[in-house]
Chains A and B, each alone.
Chain A
């Protein structure tokens, strides 16, 4: 009943908006009429609605002022271009922004009009850095090409070319990259290796160009959708390129540059804390096209060791005295929404290559992003992990494949309650600690407490879906994108030892649509019946997390 009410209440705003189908409306109304909790919630929302309407109505004076101010300024501009400038100037000077900074804005505005009167140059700045997150995420296809260059003390720079093709509509992907192996001493080995990965919704193909070998894996639409997303969020190159809307602060337009006859605005951000980095985007202001992308990251791994200040252009960075290291990512070709030919995604071994695993023998994934615990915790696996951007909670699907344990798991899982204790399997990852060094410095005491959320079963394997709730303020949103954790694992029965397990969330969930696609999609993927457990929604999980947080004393 509670779950039904939650679902109904989630839909009440849509009901009030009048955008719901007649059939759905009738169902909802029928429930509300017979449910006092939901009818109270409807009344409360109606009261909020009224309040918001009154508030907006009271703001109409401000809107009228804006209209008048804008028209006064434009009138001047229409009647006489010369008068226009003084009119705009007068209007602005009347406003509260009459400081030096504002004057600079207005001078730019005047120059805009001057340019407009003269030649229609690229002056009407519409697209800026704040559009980049939306433009990249709304792209149906993306093709980028560039390189990643590593700089290490005492070695020549190492440049590795990369190229990606991503088709988000047809769920296809291709990546070509050259790698250099790191040696145990921290340097780079001399040998290069060139790899390519191609997948569609039926197969994934790995090509090793160095050894001229090919192997195939079976794929499914969920896996393709999931991996496209994981590569976007976690790939060492793309995760920084796919700028997040909460990383915009600090960007400045620093100049313009012509690339192949097109003038681009250069937007730049230089940051010393929490990470040392430079990020630059070349944006064509009237179309939003990206002409180039540059990113430099300076490593500062050991805050307790001797470090020295270094100059990178006019940017001062702090580098380790012994291991001065940084890398640069450069994209010189960025194409959004250009049709990608089918040829690119052909799942066929190139001629002359040895097929080590054929399509016929291709294994399917044994549980989506399947990783095993360390050898000290045999048969334990992690399948999926997500961070919810709304509150920083982490969701993880894990399982115990120990034959003995599997025999008794049915009873264990059936007795679990959402928000209650985790299943007592052979090992229990009962909490998480964030590993990100800068974050750890600031929040040493934060612990993510694990609770049961749901379980699914596929074949003879039970998958536990646990939710981990931070016991104090969750990390700043910017950290969440790169956060890694140490899962604290204890044995059952407890032998007094805490074991560690490195954990990197696969992706960040930012909306209910993404929750449905990736979390519920993952649950369905790891279920015999291809369905997620009933009653789990984005809202209900956030609500459960909030309830748990309250019990933790936040």
Chain B
């Protein structure tokens, strides 16, 4: 979405415009899900937290001071909710023996990829998820990690290299 359109939508959201809400939800649900999936490494939890993040951002949109910063702002909300979630469920997670990525439902699809993703560092996994959910753009990585586009591109390169190694080790392609 271009910056001007996004600014207009964010402004319209402040006035309770339903179509604007829909536009923002549509534009950001993929990115927010990618953040949650990258951090939580579990599809179901990522869905739940992503939905909460969208609600929290849109019901609290009057708190946003700079409309151009909406992307970074909602990314932070999602990250903070994930961290809260991990903290609350830490004990539960400690009891799980199997890696989350292969124990969750839907594991029949892309098992090697999921296992490799689960072994990546959180930063690398999050960068990859953001990159692919955001149409192979480094913009959302930059906003989420608060780093430059060049640094985001470098992070993607390292994450891809690491993923390649892990896939090779899995005996995959």
Contacts and interface: CB of A to CB of B under 8 A. Distances in A.
Interface in A176-229: none
Nearest to A67: B29
A356 interface: no
A113 B59 contact: yes
A69 B51 contact: yes
Interface string B25-40: 1100110110001000
B128 A52 contact: yes
B131 to A, nearest CB: 8
B113 interface: yes
B164 interface: yes
B22 interface: yes
B12 interface: no
Contact of B80 (A125, A245, A250): A125
Interface string B139-155: 00000011100010111
A75 interface: yes
A126 B77 contact: yes
B50 interface: yes
B54 to A, nearest CB: 4
Contact of B63 (A11, A44, A66, A120): A120
A17 B83 contact: no
B55 A17 contact: no
Contacts of A101: 88-89
Nearest to A246: B122
B8 interface: no
B83 A287 contact: no
A27 interface: no
Contact of B29 (A63, A109, A112, A124): A63
A487 to B, nearest CB: 29
Interface string A105-144: 1000100110010001011111111110011001000000
A418 B128 CA distance: 32
Interface in B34-48: 37, 43-48
Contact of B164 (A45, A109, A539): A45
B149 to A, nearest CB: 8
B25 A14 contact: no
Nearest to B84: A105
Which of A71, A96, A138, A512: most chain B Cβ within 10 A? A71
A41 B29 CA distance: 33
Contact of A96 (B33, B45, B52, B83): B45
Interface stretch (A31-39, A54-62, A231-239, A298-306): A54-62
Nearest to A128: B80
B60 A116 contact: yes
B160 A45 contact: yes
A360 interface: no
A123 B32 contact: no
B152 to A, nearest CB: 10
* Chain A interface size range: 35 or more
Interface string B52-88: 1011111111111100000001001101100110111
Interface stretch (A87-95, A373-381, A464-472): A87-95
Interface string B157-173: 11011011001100001
A70 B54 contact: yes
Nearest to B44: A96
Interface of A is mostly: helix
A285 B50 CA distance: 20
Interface in A246-269: 248-252
B109 A58 contact: yes
Contacts of B60: 112, 116, 123-126
B16 interface: yes
A161 interface: no
A77 to B, nearest CB: 6
Given A51-B173, A126-B63, A66 B33 contact: yes
A548 B95 CA distance: 35
A66 B132 contact: no
Contacts of A122: 63
Nearest to A546: B165
A333 interface: no
A128 B25 contact: no
Contact of A126 (B22, B76, B86): B76
Contact of B154 (A51, A124, A130, A512): A512
B10 interface: no
B157 A10 contact: yes
B48 to A, nearest CB: 4
A52 B134 CA distance: 12
A285 B76 CA distance: 11
B165 to A, nearest CB: 9
Contact of A14 (B47, B157, B168): B157
12 contacts: A13-B157, A62-B46, A62-B47, A67-B26, A74-B18, A92-B48, A96-B45, A109-B59, A130-B79, A286-B64, A511-B151, A512-B154
Given A109-B55, A109-B56, 18 more contacts: A13-B156, A48-B163, A55-B109, A59-B33, A62-B43, A63-B133, A67-B26, A70-B29, A70-B51, A70-B55, A74-B21, A74-B55, A109-B52, A123-B60, A124-B56, A125-B56, A126-B76, A248-B83
Q: What 9 pairs between A and B have smallest CB-CB spacing?
A: A124-B60, A124-B63, A128-B80, A134-B146, A13-B157, A70-B54, A95-B48, A56-B132, A69-B51
